[in-house]
Structure 1
Amino acid sequence: MTAATATATSGVKKVEGAPLLELEGVKMYFRTKGEGLLARRTQWVQAVDGVDLTVEPGQTLGLVGESGCGKSTTARLITRLLEPTAGKIKYQGVDIAHMSERQLRPYRREIQLIFQDPYSSLNPRHTVGTIVGTALRTHDMVPKSGELKRVQELLELVGLNPEHYNRYPHEFSGGQRQRIGIARALAARPKVIVADEPVSALDVSIQAQVMNLLENLRSELGIAFVFIAHDLGVVRHFCDRVAVMYLGRVVEEAPRDTLYEAPQHPYTQALLSAVPDIAVVRGVPPKSRIRLVGDVPSPVDPPSGCRFRTRCWKAQDICAQQDPPLETKAIGPDDQLVACHFAEPPAESIVAETV
């Protein structure tokens, strides 16, 4: 540890001037066995394969991509519910990737997770007061005599009746249960919240209410978010930066407006072309869509070189031979990172409906 390292009274160590959260070459491989003749052969599912991300204090980073691309696994790696196979997970400059549970305890207080499913993430045998108060007791946040008052304050903060602390999860609606999950995450006063598709299981009208709640909490408390979603409209509304994942890797990362207005990676262009455009209702001609053919390759045996090449209309021989690094391209701004040999902004008129 360098001389620039300071140790807080909470037990969390930090390096002055370091980013709040930083992932460097993070990998997560799961062991599995083949089927049929390969039943005895050990295989590895490359769920996350070399992810680099940075989150600054108060910033919101959106993480998008198709199902199975590694978004939720990345969320569990950041919160250390999973220990990575390789790579570094730095919190305020200190690598927590391979810390023991005892060493991790003060860090768990500052990095919290909001789960996707508000039904299965709450223990049905515990009251709301017990669920929200667990973090208070675990981290000795308040004296025992003040626990009830703090729980009621948290419930009121997320828009719930503070007098309902003695009710059970089944007595609440889906949106209310997700608010309970948010209150539980806020109990430890975290600096980073990883939200794993927090509104995807809710009705559309309830989604807007929960997103407005998260927006208010971010502005009032200054919490940094890693926001995982498949709804690109929600991500554009909430996030400062957006990273696009495909088959376990980040293929493009940029500020929100830059990525939505001038995406350079073919996969990002295909994703954004599928977003509904409200201007069509007012008579504006619809934009051309890029429809990708085929399925996402298996993470057990991903393609050589660029992993998107099997579905990419720009693919050439070099794409199969060399894996393009995630780097700044001369054609874009300095803070736009792209992993593609033939990155370029989308043409104004894309005539191909299918690629």
Structure 2
Amino acid sequence: MSDATVSDVVGKPAAKGETLLQVRDLKMHFPIKEAAGLGRTKKVVQAVDGVSFDLKQSGSLGLVGESGCGKSTTGRMITRLLTPTSGQILFKGTDIAQLKERDLRPFRRQLQIVFQDPYSSLNPRQTVSNIISTPLRVHNLVKKGKELARVQELLERVGLNPEHHNRYPNEFSGGQRQRIGIARALAVEPEVIIADEPVSALDVSIQAQVMNLLEDLRRDLGIAFVFIAHDLGVVRHFCDEVAVMYLGKIVEQGSRDQIYNAPQHPYTQALLSAAPDLGTIRGVPPKERIRLVGDVPSPIDPPSGCRFRTRCWKAEDICATQEPLLEIKPQSSQGHTAACHFAEPKVDLTAATA
């Protein structure tokens, strides 16, 4: 790709409602090699196995699911911290999935990430000023001598004292450190931020403050978010669209109201029934919980057919032989997809909790 073409794609602001990011059949398989230095690939960990979704300008998509389902790996592929095994990552129509580092550099400015752990994501040997100004220097976004003013502006934008720019990360609380991480991401004026469980490591009293900050940034700056979380309550309040992942695949996807008010997939229904502040879903009385049996299968050797079938109370023979497609079901509203042979919005509580 020529420099002129890259500049045209990256530099042109997205129109309101325009699709910024298109992920198509994205896969990440980590090889496991045999012992004794034989060097032959024996098996692979299917961390992500065919994920697809769209993200619009200033939109927000929540990726939810249990630990190990592939949410964070998906986020790291989108920002190209990991190179996908296969699939497409289309940013404004340009596929960046396999771009080399030199060609990828302009796109990194537009696709930033905020990590889960504010304690390990900041270099303890650098001052806050240096942490935030480094991306400014890398992308030549500020003139020499103007860096400090920009750093102080960013600190104030995320609710921190601008005069604390010369302090080190260990002089801040967890919530303050996460704000520093957000400021670092904002420094390059991105159009998309991948928020990888940004509040899960924080005290409950601080979580709401950080979430309010992210909502303000989304509203004021038009930034689009892929919000990775296991807390369904947080996702419900922040995200317009929701995609539910299980063992490397999206099993249900739709608008916030579709997912929370009429979940189609048994796994989604089980997650919602277990959420403490989301105790009522359609067909499930308050305080009732769907308890899944068994453990999550290994991504090295996932079940045939439907990957959820080994824990599903609806499973039948077809579930083992035929993988269900992620598609709109007859009883679903437009844009609401589920990958289940027996998808339905009403839960058979007797069978589910037996």
Q: Say yes or no: TM over 0.5.
A: yes
> Matches of 1:218 and 1:106 in 2, distance apart?
22
How do 1:25-104 residues align onto structure 2 when only pairs under 5 Å count?
A: 25-33=25-33, 42-104=42-104
> Matches of 1:223 and 1:150 in 2, distance apart?
19
1:200-230 deviation digits (Å, cap 9, x = unpaired) = 0000001111011111111100100000011
Q: Which residue type is aligned with residue 311 of structure 1?
A: R
How do 1:120-269 residues align onto structure 2 when only pairs under 5 Å count?
A: 120-269=120-269
What is the identity percentage for the equivalent residue pairs of Structure 1 and Structure 2?
68
| Matched length | 345
**Unaligned 5+ runs, structure 2:** none
Q: Which residue type is aligned with residue 239 of structure 1?
A: C
Distance 1:15 1:215, change over 3 A: closer
- Is contact 1:14–1:92 with CA below 8 Å preserved after alignment? no
1:289-320 deviation digits (Å, cap 9, x = unpaired) = 11000010000000011100111111111111
Distance 1:14 1:336, change over 3 A: farther
User: Per the alignment, in what secondary structure is the counterpart of residue 314 of structure 2?
Assistant: coil
Distance 1:13 1:277, change over 3 A: closer
Instruction: Give the aligned partner of residue 327 of structure 2.
Output: 327
> Matches of 2:39 and 2:91 in 1, distance apart?
40
Q: Give the superposition deviation at 1:11.
A: 6.5
> Matches of 1:206 and 1:48 in 2, distance apart?
31
- Is contact 2:331–2:344 with CA below 8 Å preserved after alignment? yes
Instruction: Give the aligned partner of residue 286 of structure 1.
Output: 286
Q: Give the superposition deviation at 1:265.
A: 0.3
> Matches of 1:224 and 1:332 in 2, distance apart?
26
> Matches of 1:125 and 1:180 in 2, distance apart?
15
User: Per the alignment, in what secondary structure is the counterpart of residue 234 of structure 1?
Assistant: helix
Q: Give the superposition deviation at 1:14.
A: 8.1
Q: Give the superposition deviation at 1:279.
A: 8.1
Instruction: Give the aligned partner of residue 343 of structure 2.
Output: 343
> Matches of 2:208 and 2:14 in 1, distance apart?
37
User: Per the alignment, in what secondary structure is the counterpart of residue 21 of structure 1?
Assistant: strand
1:320-353 deviation digits (Å, cap 9, x = unpaired) = 1111111111111111011111111023x62346
Q: Give the superposition deviation at 1:7.
A: 3.7
RMSD: 2.3
Q: Which residue type is aligned with residue 165 of structure 1?
A: H
User: Per the alignment, in what secondary structure is the counterpart of residue 351 of structure 1?
Assistant: helix
